[in-house]
């Protein structure tokens, strides 16, 4: 038992987020009324009762045979909403991106251009290199999630030099996770469409949170995806599904993406149980995303209202969707700040009249990421706003005296 615990703790040393969870658990045990508001990620959302009902009742068949009616319906709905000829269900958005890039970079000696902060490059275990032999050519992401177009052009390879790989695709991300949930504008998407067209390149969009982008831009999703050849969407983020993603594109592309999916181990059988809650998400969850954006803005505003302070700030003009970043000014580290948010002091409890802890993600050397989602209520937002203001004041106090 002790050995088990030791092992667990030693693993956790490299996972600050998990450590926070444990700290809060202790507080939960010591103060029964503690409210834990989990702002680490929208992947933490659990399926709604309606989704569970849909899973239970889903009509199913063997999807590798193309005979699962629920999967077929989901793929048709997704293709139609995204304005593409076809779509295919995959278990995760990592597989969606990987399958898409493997198809776009068929054969050998190929390369994609993507952002140095892109999910594809940072968080997908180099899948495209492992399974596709594809090299990533990086362009620095601007703080707004875009890549400078001139810099992209400089990275496109000439085709007549046998020393160099061929550039095959440019990958964008909208909304942009590591850039703090930034929404990429339609105008930028259009410019990228032109650039890729002129250079005979494919444009792939990692739209894990495309519906958040569409909500923020107040346009139908197809207005964004009209500019890309292929798009991946995650349903397990702010859309609350337990799992499931789709890739959409042309008929020919999707036919090949199905082969890539099978090769990657993603050919699933009675997958209607996965597709059913995804249909519920398309019908019912897309419309509520604005609520999460509003909640993110409310929390950000509470920090902004603290004005100039030595602890942290939020750039309000950069709060676009359900993700935003607290920018720490270097006095306190993201880890220290996040840890303090998982604790409740006696003075705090007395002065706020609440026992609330919040889980947040230390994101970079200077930032903490906050994510709102379906499981965060208005009451939670209220508690977190008060707590953030209290903690910022507390941490700022010694510097003032």
> Which residues are at the interface with ligand PLP (CB under 6 A)?
92-94, 97, 119, 173, 177, 206, 208, 234, 236-237, 245
- The CA-based dihedral angle spanning residues 111, 235, 208, 85, taken in that order and rounded to the nearest 10 degrees: 60
Biggest CA-to-CA distance, the chain: 72
CB of 390 to ligand PLP, least distance (A): 31
Phi and psi torsions of 96, nearest 5°: -60, -50
Which candidate, 291, 316, 282, places its Cα nearest to that of 302? 316
Cα–Cα distance between 129 and 131 in angstroms, integer? 6
According to DSSP, the residues that pair with 247 across neighbouring strands are 88, 232
Closest CB to ligand PLP among residues 210, 391: 210
Closest CB to ligand PLP among residues 244, 272: 244
Phi and psi torsions of 145, nearest 5°: 90, -10
Q: Are 397 and 332 in contact (CB under 8 A)?
A: no
Closest CB to ligand PLP among residues 70, 92: 92
CB of 41 to ligand PLP, least distance (A): 8
Cα–Cα distance between 81 and 226 in angstroms, integer? 11
CB of 144 to ligand PLP, least distance (A): 15
Closest CB to ligand PLP among residues 21, 243: 243
Cα–Cα distance between 334 and 191 in angstroms, integer? 36
DSSP assignment of 2-20:
HHHHHHHHHHHTT-HHHHH
Can you read off the two tokens belonging to residue 373? 């989602």
Closest CB to ligand PLP among residues 260, 388: 260
CB of 176 to ligand PLP, least distance (A): 7
Q: Are 156 and 199 in contact (CB under 8 A)?
A: yes
CB of 162 to ligand PLP, least distance (A): 34
With 0-12 / 13-18 / 19 or more C-beta atoms within 10 angstroms meaning exposed / middle / buried, residue 242 is middle
- The residue assigned the tokens 């259009």 is 190
- The DSSP output letter for 148 is -
CB of 178 to ligand PLP, least distance (A): 8
Can you read off the two tokens belonging to residue 251? 């008929």
According to DSSP, the residues that pair with 245 across neighbouring strands are 90, 234
CB of 191 to ligand PLP, least distance (A): 21
Closest CB to ligand PLP among residues 119, 387: 119
CB of 115 to ligand PLP, least distance (A): 11
Closest CB to ligand PLP among residues 92, 372: 92
Closest CB to ligand PLP among residues 156, 208: 208
CB of 34 to ligand PLP, least distance (A): 29
- With CB atoms as reference, the residue minimizing the distance to ligand PLP is 93
Closest CB to ligand PLP among residues 40, 387: 40
H or E stretch covering 246: strand 245-249
Cα–Cα distance between 312 and 298 in angstroms, integer? 16
């Amino acid at each position: 038992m002790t050995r088990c615990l030791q092992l667990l703790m030693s693993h956790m040393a490299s996972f600050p987020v998990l450590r926070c969870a444990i700290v809060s658990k202790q507080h939960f045990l010591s103060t029964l009324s503690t409210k834990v508001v989990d702002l680490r990620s929208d992947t933490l959302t659990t399926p709604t009762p309606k989704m569970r009902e849909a899973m239970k009742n889903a009509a199913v068949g063997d999807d590798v045979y193309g005979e699962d009616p629920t999967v077929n319906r989901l793929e048709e709905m997704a293709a139609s909403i995204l304005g593409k000829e076809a779509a295919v269900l995959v278990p995760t958005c990592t597989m969606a991106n990987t399958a898409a890039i493997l198809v776009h970079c068929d054969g050998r000696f190929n390369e994609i251009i993507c952002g140095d902060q892109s999910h594809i490059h940072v968080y997908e275990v180099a899948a495209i290199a492992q399974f596709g032999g594809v090299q990533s050519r990086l362009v620095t992401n601007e703080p707004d999630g875009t890549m400078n177009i001139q810099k992209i052009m400089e990275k496109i390879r000439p085709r007549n030099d046998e020393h160099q790989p061929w550039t095959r695709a440019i990958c964008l991300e909208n909304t942009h996770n590591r850039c703090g949930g930034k929404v990429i504008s339609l105008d930028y998407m259009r410019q990228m469409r032109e650039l890729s067209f002129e250079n005979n390149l494919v444009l792939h969009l990692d739209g894990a949170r495309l519906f958040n982008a569409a909500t923020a831009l107040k346009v139908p999703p197809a207005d964004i995806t009209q500019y890309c050849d292929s798009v991946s969407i995650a349903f397990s983020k702010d859309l609350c599904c337990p799992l499931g993603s789709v890739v959409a594109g042309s008929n020919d592309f999707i036919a090949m993406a199905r082969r890539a999916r099978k090769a990657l181990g993603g050919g699933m059988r009675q997958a209607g149980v996965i597709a059913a809650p995804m249909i519920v998400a398309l019908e019912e969850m897309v419309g509520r995303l604005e609520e999460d954006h509003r909640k993110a803005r409310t929390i950000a505003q509470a920090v902004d209202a603290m004005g100039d302070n030595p602890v942290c700030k939020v750039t309000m003009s950069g709060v676009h969707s359900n993700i935003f970043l607290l920018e720490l000014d270097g006095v306190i580290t993201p880890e220290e700040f996040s840890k303090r948010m998982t604790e409740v002091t006696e003075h705090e409890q007395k002065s706020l009249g609440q026992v609330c802890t919040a889980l947040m993600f230390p994101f970079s050397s200077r930032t903490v990421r906050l994510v709102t989602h379906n499981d965060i209520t208005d009451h939670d937002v209220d508690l977190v706003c008060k707590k953030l203001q209290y903690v910022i004041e507390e941490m700022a106090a010694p510097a003032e005296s």
